[in-house]
Amino acid sequence: MSDAAETTEPDLAFDEQELLPAVAQDADTGEVLMLAYVTEEALEHTRETGLAHYYSRSRDELWKKGGSSGHTQAIEEVRVDCDGDAILYLVDQDGGACHTGYESCFYRTVDGDVVGERVFDPDEVYE
Amino acid sequence: MSDAAETTEPDLAFDEQELLPAVAQDADTGEVLMLAYVTEEALEHTRETGLAHYYSRSRDELWKKGGSSGHTQAIEEVRVDCDGDAILYLVDQDGGACHTGYESCFYRTVDGDVVGERVFDPDEVYE
């Protein structure tokens, strides 16, 4: 029997490379941390583990955020946009999101001004 | 002569379709409003006019956000990510960002729960 109050999982519109862009936002501060991509498998890992997973296009592999740096993203909520072709991860970011040491990958303006906060030294985190 | 204090515009890494994903975030509330795409031309229009422009992949044309709805996005700041392959628009959103009437296109969780706020009636805005 159908249940009118039942929620339906939104359809996801993966692109021809079977990817969706995923934005990570700090659930507390609202800071937009990064944009990466997910496959269906990466999204499943995210939902099952409660830790943000992506798909690395350059390394061509499933990627657990913080796997090498320890700077994981604990998932507070996963949202989908109206067309089902973008994902929003609301996360509790451990350390910083950016491999350069900044809290957010969006630490520069388009004019080149640095507006972000550096929260770790990448030389001490990545060996 | 070079000037050490001079800022350099970050290089942008447009993809093979000459696009970059662009995230729009409400500059006041921090709400992530939408994800769309920009061409170099769209980004130039954004910077020149102070109003968010995108490139519509479905309509294959430059797209001024709010051109038909009036729900424009006044630009507070444009940021670039570490790899130059994503853009963040910090905006003052007039009306709602989503064509469905919600403030944000990310108004649903991946489980289908509606968590966003509806701020206009699309039947009254789009004719």
Query: CA A32, CA A55: separation in Å to the nearest integer?
Result: 19
Residue type at A22? A
**Both structure tokens of B44:** 């130039």
Query: CA A98, CA A93: separation in Å to the nearest integer?
Result: 11
Mean pLDDT of B7-31: 96
Residue type at A109? T
**Does B88 sit within 8 Å of A82, measured CB to CB?**
no
Asked if B45 contacts B62 with a C-beta cutoff of 8 angstroms, the reply is yes
Nearest to A40 by CA among A13, A76, A75, A59: A13
Query: CA B81, CA A23: separation in Å to the nearest integer?
Result: 12
B83 is in an annotated binding site: yes
**pLDDT of the residue at B118:** 96
B21, closest residue in chain A (CA to CA): A21
Q: Rounded to whole angstroms, what are the CA distances from B103 to A1, A43, B31, B106?
A: 34, 25, 9, 9
Residue A4 has pLDDT above 70, yes or no: no
Average pLDDT of chain B to the nearest whole number? 94
**pLDDT of the residue at A80:** 98
Query: CA A93, CA B48: separation in Å to the nearest integer?
Result: 35
- At CB < 8 Å, which residues of chain A contact B? 7-10, 21, 23, 25, 29-32, 34-35, 43, 47, 77-83, 86-88, 98-100, 102, 105-113, 115
Mean pLDDT of A32-41: 98
B105 is in an annotated binding site: yes
B82 is in an annotated binding site: yes
Span A77-124, pLDDT tens digits: 999 999 999 999 999 999 999 999 999 999 999 999 999 999 999 999
Residue A2 has pLDDT above 60, yes or no: no
**Does A29 sit within 8 Å of B35, measured CB to CB?**
no
A60 is in an annotated binding site: no
Q: Name the DSSP class of A114.
A: B
Query: CA A49, CA A11: separation in Å to the nearest integer?
Result: 21
Residue B86 has pLDDT above 90, yes or no: yes
Mean pLDDT of A18-39: 98
Tell me the pLDDT band of B7, cut-offs 50, 70 and 90.
confident
Query: CA A61, CA A46: separation in Å to the nearest integer?
Result: 15
Q: Which of A30, A31, A88 sits opposite B106 (nearest CB)?
A: A88
**pLDDT of the residue at B5:** 58
A99, closest residue in chain B (CA to CA): B82
**pLDDT of the residue at B10:** 95
Residue A1 has pLDDT above 50, yes or no: no
B123 is in an annotated binding site: no
Tell me the pLDDT band of A53, cut-offs 50, 70 and 90.
very high
Pairing of strands B53-56, A108-109: unpaired
Domain boundaries, chain B: 20-125
Residue B57 has pLDDT above 70, yes or no: yes
Asked if A119 contacts A93 with a C-beta cutoff of 8 angstroms, the reply is no
**pLDDT of the residue at B2:** 46
A20-125 to CATH, choices 3.30.70.360, 3.40.190.10, 3.10.20.810, 1.10.240.10: 3.10.20.810
**Both structure tokens of B68:** 């038909």
Q: Which of B10, B113, B115 sits opposite A108 (nearest CB)?
A: B10
Among B23, B106, B115, most A C-beta atoms within 10 A, so best to mutate, is B106
Q: Which of A25, A77, A98 sits opposite B82 (nearest CB)?
A: A98
**pLDDT of the residue at A126:** 78
